[in-house]
Structure 1
């Protein structure tokens, strides 16, 4: 009878993998890659190359986004005003019961 495999592909013995059951301990550690020095000229050329990839929004996209932000601010302020008014009314009502 074949033993069940775990999703990682290791055979299991009881509740443990075969490697853990036999006491074998293997540790795989990736060594960090050595860092290469970048000259200032190369750095600035890379910055310019990345800056050329930027896609700026059009005037229409900026306008639409600004209007949407303004609308969301109005909705949020109305919501919080209503909640604040309701909580103020409720707290005055509850505190008024004790008088």
Structure 2
């Protein structure tokens, strides 16, 4: 009973209790998932919005691009060495296992 009481008083992170769905009363039923009519955007408004978003883009500097590219090449080199070592190790192990059966 204590657990049920505690569960009944549970609140959401915002401090409010979760709303439960109310049953529809006959004659007053309204579709809860009725589509909301969206306001259409005209072409000039759309272009203005695209230009406003494009102004928010921050391009990396030449130095940042160079440093990032070098870091990518270093990580690729490390990964290829790692996979070469793992592949060579697995090859040796598998050849050893297969040679036992000969």
TM-score of the pair, normalised by structure 2: 0.71
- Provide the rounded CA distance (Å) in 2 between the counterparts of 1:69 and 1:32: 47
Structure 1 match to 2:65:
62
Q: Number of paired residues?
A: 84
Asked if residue 26 in structure 1 is aligned to residue 29 in structure 2, the reply is no
Which structure 1 segments of 5+ residues have no match?
A: 11-18, 20-24
Q: Calculate the aligned-residue CA RMSD, in Å.
A: 2.3
Unpaired stretches in structure 2, ≥5 consecutive residues: 12-16, 24-31
Q: Is the counterpart of residue 37 in structure 1 residue 61 in structure 2?
A: no
Q: Which has the higher contact order (CA 8 A, sep 6+)?
A: 1
Would you tell me which structure has more strand in proportion to its own residues?
1
Deviations 1:41-69 (CA, angstroms, capped at 9, x unpaired)? 11111101100000000000000000000
- Structure 1 outlier segments of 4+, above 3 Å: 29-33
